[in-house]
């Protein structure tokens, strides 16, 4: 501490400090503290641990997985129901192209046994029923907020938390932000001139009216012949007077051979569901497909035709394309399969001219999503269906009565757009996501979306994307990939908590390397050859980048697991806050006061002079809150009576806190710490004994430590009388509390419920980084002050390594009481606090750590002056309350 006569500007601090004091710190407590030590680190009290955008398959499971891990979570969903893409895509004929036995959660063996699918390929209503069943079964509704669209998410580096804003005008803070908005959520309607003038109704398949649309007797124009268009077309053709299918690109489609699930088959299959799921996890697509394992080009052509026909008859895209190993990497092999499929179209469609138009030739089969349908091609044999080629004569405009192409006009009563999505990045780019330095995600992704391992975008700390760009996502069984991502993210969040990291962020170099790998793998296949939504080609102006990982689900999972096992390789994990250089304005007022007062530094004063300054300064804090009783006692110590003051907030408090004030073992006093100790008594609801231990240099080490221990023995015996006991202290007092906890363990002394250490001195090494950061700088305590204090408390340097002076040096810290650690950023003692937490964690001692990123050494005592002091005392008190209640 620099030697000012008083804090010159405390007058200002005092004026508003009093006003704040009226509302007390007690109201600041939130539910988090009730969970005791489930979260070992949290420098701020964010509203949530995890905020999730979206409640489709990913968001629903995220709620369950995070919550089951003891984290607080809320998912915000724009829809009036859960289900995401399965909520919105309720057009007739909507059906999953992955089998129901695969396209379902695997996390709960009970769930997979209880639920019965009715069909091989589930239709949209059944998928939605399933998801609602899951939400009901696992009681997820309280943590899902419907009808609420996430509009913005902003990273706050000072607090290491996200502020997530929603379209109802509300906002919530969360330590982690998880996007579960899905890969195919942002639908696109082509900009056709005159669409607004169309007299009839028009629909996009992805925003289908909940009540359905009636096309009976209407002339309907359908634009789009991808998976969706192919599914909806036969449904419309069945009721419409006439259906015009406007085709820009002819697509491949395999039969579904959809059928009802046979109960006997189901029973047999479910008997070994677990091992099936395991196979799926290690498979290429997230579905165990039995391929031949051979290249088509190495097989006799007749055998290839037979195999393809067998699989065509069996139905399903994955087994068909997965028959041979070279179909998606060798154009000649691909051509064999493509020609086989064209033959099937020729066989099915009666009119050769129409068949010819339907033959896909523009891209290798599989390089666009392979469509599945049992009745699409046959539909063109109906007299009320017309195929319109808009490749040769493109759509030009819409008028009130219909659609105009370059060479004709089509009179229409209704229009249906099955024109797809701004895939992978579209939905996330609709949210104003701002990461480190306020940089927008959309800006970062201007050249194409990217994320390390497809899950963590560099520059966006504590943000994860479920099935993001660079992950297998749409090239896999989405449900399985969603589960893998959510579980990986959950484990990463827990790891950060367990190791005291405030932030987790992908390193740009790791992201670059990963995306280069993603690109390299993609370009070893035929996929980039198609103008597909996979590469963003369907959205005008979108950069053409292939952003899905084609290395396979199993290898990808292994890579993710290896990254985690290596301590999250490629991620920067940081204990402190990113923008830690700024001092809180309230604390700055205090520092300004010291600077304005001038005067010699502490270490040039005598201890008496320094004590006089501390006493005068602390008087500026003002009185603490009233308590039921205060009494001065003298504790019998081995070296004589130890004065102490007992604060009782209520007549019969549930526990006892033995408190050791700070002041470098030299300058502190019970009187000087009166306000903050009162506040702690009120916040904890416990009796607090503030110990007037002997000071140095009159009484050098181990006098203070001996008094501290004697006071504990007295408090635990005489005062507590069976009630739980906690030791606590700040700065040098934190040292005494830590040492007392060590001694109690070593000597078989009183059992402690908790040790509350506030920016404690844990080691005599004055060369840690934080000591050099605060070397000679104008802060309440700097490196020179600490050297001076040590020289008075333990004059002989060789003795300072004694664990009862430097508890960090204790050979063994296991079996110590749980630690609640408070640290601050602008503090030479910062790093030794972190080091102590690390050591205790490594010894499996429960640790909860709150770090105040903009605070200064000593802040905990300035209860009337600093909001953070009120908050810190309040949080610590609440933890003590929880601990003593058991
Ligand atoms: P897709 O597969 O992107 O299909 C969209 C269709 O719409 C496709 O035929 C497009 O033709 C056509 N389209 C898109 N824009 C236009 C314009 N401006 N004019 C004419 N035609 C256009 O979307 P889906 O909804 O079918 O399927 C998306 C995924 O959902 C699917 O892959 C499955 O994974 C589930 P194009 O081929 O671009 O010439």
Cβ atoms 397, 193 nearer than 8 A: yes
**Any ligand 1 atom below 6 A from CB of 477:** no
Check if 185 has its Cβ closer than 6 Å to any atom of ligand 1. Answer: no
Q: Give the rounded percent of residues in the chain with a pLDDT score beyond 70.
A: 94
Helices (H), 69-159: 85-88, 109-114, 124-137
315 confidence band (pLDDT: 50, 70, 90):
very high
Quick check: CB of 247 below 6 Å from ligand 1?
no
- The verdict on the CB of residue 364 being under 6 Å from ligand 1 is no
Determine whether the shortest distance from the Cβ of 388 to ligand 1 is under 6 A: no
Tokens for 547?
């952003």
User: Atom 30 in ligand 1: which residue has the minimum CA distance?
Assistant: 227
State the chain's mean pLDDT as an integer: 91
Give residue 280 CA to ligand 1 midpoint distance, Å: 29
Q: Which residue, judged by its Cα, is nearest atom 6 of ligand 1?
A: 224
- Distance from residue 542's CA to the centre of ligand 1 (Å): 15
184 lines ligand 1 (CB under 6 A): yes
533 CB near ligand 1 (under 6 Å): yes
The per-residue pLDDT for 45 is 55
What is the pLDDT, as a whole number, of residue 885? 87
CA of 185 to the centre of ligand 1 (A): 13
Tell which atom from ligand 1 comes closest to the C-alpha of 206. 25
Q: Is the CB of 538 under 6 A from ligand 1?
A: yes
Verify whether ligand 1 is closer than 6 Å to residue 231 (CB atom).
no
Tens digit of each residue's pLDDT (9 = 90 or more) over 718-772: 999 999 999 999 999 999 999 999 999 999 999 999 999 999 999 999 999 889 8
Q: Pick the closest to residue 360 from 375, 383, 377, 374 (CA basis).
A: 377
CA 432–ligand 1 middle distance (angstroms): 26
> What is the distance in A from the centroid of ligand 1 to the CA of 89?
14
CA 226 to ligand 1 centroid distance, Å: 5
Q: How remote is the CA of residue 228 from the centroid of ligand 1, in Å?
A: 8
- C-alpha 654/C-alpha 818 separation (Å) is 18
Q: How many angstroms is it from 535 CA to the middle of ligand 1? A: 13
> Is the omega angle on the peptide bond into residue 697 within 30 degrees of 0, that is, cis?
yes
Q: Give residue 678's pLDDT.
A: 98
* Calpha distance 42→850 (Å, rounded): 5
Q: Which atom of ligand 1 lies closest to the CA of 224?
A: 7
Task: Output the pLDDT for position 374.
Answer: 95
pLDDT 10s digits, 437-472: 899 999 999 999 999 999 999 999 999 999 999 999
30: left (phi over 0), alpha (psi -120 to 50) or beta: beta
Higher local confidence (pLDDT), 5 or 457: 457
Measured on CA atoms in the order 13, 16, 19, 21, is the torsion positive or negative?
negative
DSSP string of 216-239? TT-EEEEE--SHHHHHHHHHHHTT
Q: How confident is the model at residue 31 (pLDDT cuts 50, 70, 90)?
A: very low
- Structure pTM? 0.71
Strands 656-660 and 725-730: parallel
Is 751:778 a contact under the CB 8 Å cutoff? Answer: no
Phi, psi of 109 (to 5 degrees): -60, -35
User: Which tokens sit at 149?
Assistant: 């669209």
Dist. CA 805–CA 790, nearest whole Å: 10
| pLDDT category of residue 34 using cuts at 50, 70 and 90 | very low
828 lines ligand 1 (CB under 6 A): no
Which has the higher per-residue pLDDT, 678 or 843? 678
Q: What is the pLDDT of residue 36?
A: 29
Residue 369 Cβ < 6 Å to ligand 1: yes
Q: How many CB atoms lie within 10 A of CB 115?
A: 17
């Amino acid at each position: 501490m620099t030697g000012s006569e008083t804090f010159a500007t405390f007058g200002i601090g005092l004026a508003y400090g009093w006003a704040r004091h009226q509302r007390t710190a007690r109201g600041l407590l939130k539910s988090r503290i009730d969970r005791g030590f489930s979260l070992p680190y949290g420098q701020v009290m964010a509203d949530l641990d995890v905020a999730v955008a979206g409640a489709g398959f990913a968001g629903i499971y995220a709620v369950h997985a995070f919550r089951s891990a003891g984290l607080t979570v809320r998912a915000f969903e724009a829809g009036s129901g859960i289900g995401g893409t399965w909520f919105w895509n309720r057009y007739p004929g909507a059906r999953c192209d992955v089998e129901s036995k695969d396209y379902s959660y695997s996390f709960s063996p009970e769930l997979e046994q209880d639920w019965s699918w009715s069909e091989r390929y589930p239709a949209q209503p059944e998928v939605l029923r399933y998801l609602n069943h899951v939400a009901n079964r696992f009681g997820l509704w309280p943590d899902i907020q419907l009808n609420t669209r996430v509009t913005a998410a902003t990273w706050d580096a000072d607090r290491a938390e996200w502020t997530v804003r929603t379209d109802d005008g509300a906002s919530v803070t969360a330590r982690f932000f998880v996007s579960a908005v899905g890969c195919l959520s942002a639908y696109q309607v082509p900009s056709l001139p005159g669409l607004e003038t169309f007299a009839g109704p028009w629909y996009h398949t992805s925003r289908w009216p909940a009540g359905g649309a009636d096309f009976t007797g209407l002339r309907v124009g359908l634009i789009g012949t991808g998976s969706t268009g192919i599914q909806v077309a036969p449904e419309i053709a069945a009721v419409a007077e006439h259906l015009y299918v406007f085709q820009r690109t002819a697509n491949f489609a395999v039969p579904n051979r959809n059928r009802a699930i046979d109960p006997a088959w189901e029973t047999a299959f479910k008997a070994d569901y677990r091992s099936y799921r395991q196979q799926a996890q290690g498979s290429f697509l997230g579905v165990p497909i039995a391929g031949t394992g051979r290249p088509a080009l190495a097989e006799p052509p007749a055998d290839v035709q037979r195999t393809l026909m067998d699989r065509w008859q069996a139905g399903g895209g994955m087994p068909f394309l997965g028959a041979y190993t070279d179909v998606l990497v060798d154009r000649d092999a691909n051509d064999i399969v493509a020609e086989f499929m064209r033959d099937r179209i020729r066989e099915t469609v009666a009119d050769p001219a129409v068949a010819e138009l339907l033959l896909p030739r523009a891209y290798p089969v599989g390089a666009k999503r392979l469509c599945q349908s049992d009745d699409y091609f046959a539909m063109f044999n109906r007299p009320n269906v017309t195929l319109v080629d808009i490749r040769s004569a493109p759509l030009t405009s819409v008028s009130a009565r219909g659609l105009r192409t370059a060479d004709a006009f089509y009179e229409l009563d209704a229009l249906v757009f099955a024109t797809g999505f701004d895939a992978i990045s579209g939905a996330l780019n609709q949210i104003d996501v701002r990461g480190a330095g306020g940089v927008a995600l959309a800006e970062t992704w201007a050249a194409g979306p990217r994320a390390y391992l497809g899950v963590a975008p560099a520059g966006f700390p504590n943000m994860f994307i479920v099935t993001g760009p660079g992950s297998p996502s749409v090239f896999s069984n989405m449900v399985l990939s969603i589960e893998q991502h959510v579980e990986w993210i959950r484990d990463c969040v827990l790891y950060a908590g367990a190791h005291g990291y405030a932030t987790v962020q992908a390193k740009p170099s790791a992201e670059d390397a990963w995306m280069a790998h993603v690109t390299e793998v993609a370009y070893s296949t035929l996929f980039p050859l198609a103008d597909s939504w996979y590469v963003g080609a369907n959205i005008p102006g979108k950069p053409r980048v292939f952003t899905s990982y084609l290395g396979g689900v199993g290898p990808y999972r292994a890579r993710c697991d290896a990254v985690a096992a290596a301590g999250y390789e490629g991620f920067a994990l940081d204990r402190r806050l990113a923008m830690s250089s700024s001092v809180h304005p309230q604390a700055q007022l205090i520092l300004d006061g010291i600077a304005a007062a001038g005067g010699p530094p502490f270490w040039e004063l005598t201890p008496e002079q320094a004590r006089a300054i501390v006493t005068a300064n602390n008087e500026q804090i003002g009185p603490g809150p009233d308590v039921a009783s205060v009494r001065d006692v003298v504790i019998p110590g081995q070296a004589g009576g130890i004065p102490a003051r007992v604060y009782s907030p209520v007549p019969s408090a549930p526990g006892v806190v033995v408190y050791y004030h700070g002041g470098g073992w030299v300058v502190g006093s019970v009187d000087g710490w009166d306000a903050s100790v009162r506040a702690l008594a009120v916040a904890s609801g416990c009796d607090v004994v503030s110990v007037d231990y002997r000071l140095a240099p009159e009484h050098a080490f181990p006098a203070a430590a001996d008094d501290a221990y004697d006071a504990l023995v007295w408090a635990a015996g005489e005062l507590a009388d069976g009630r739980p006991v906690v030791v606590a202290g700040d700065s040098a007092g934190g040292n005494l509390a830590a040492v007392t906890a060590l001694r109690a363990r070593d000597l078989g002394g009183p059992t402690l419920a908790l040790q509350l250490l506030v920016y404690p001195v844990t080691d005599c090494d004055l060369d840690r980084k934080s000591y050099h950061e605060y070397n000679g700088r104008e802060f309440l305590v700097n490196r020179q002050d600490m050297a001076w204090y040590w020289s008075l408390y333990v004059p002989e340097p060789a003795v300072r390594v004694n664990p009862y002076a430097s508890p960090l040096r204790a050979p063994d810290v296991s079996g110590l009481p749980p630690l609640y650690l408070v640290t601050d950023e602008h503090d030479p003692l910062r790093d030794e606090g972190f080091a102590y937490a690390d050591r205790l964690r490594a010894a499996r001692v429960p640790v909860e750590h709150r770090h105040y990123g903009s605070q200064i050494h000593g802040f905990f005592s300035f209860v009337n002056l600093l909001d953070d002091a009120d908050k810190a005392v309040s949080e610590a008190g609440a933890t003590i309350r929880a601990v003593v209640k058991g």
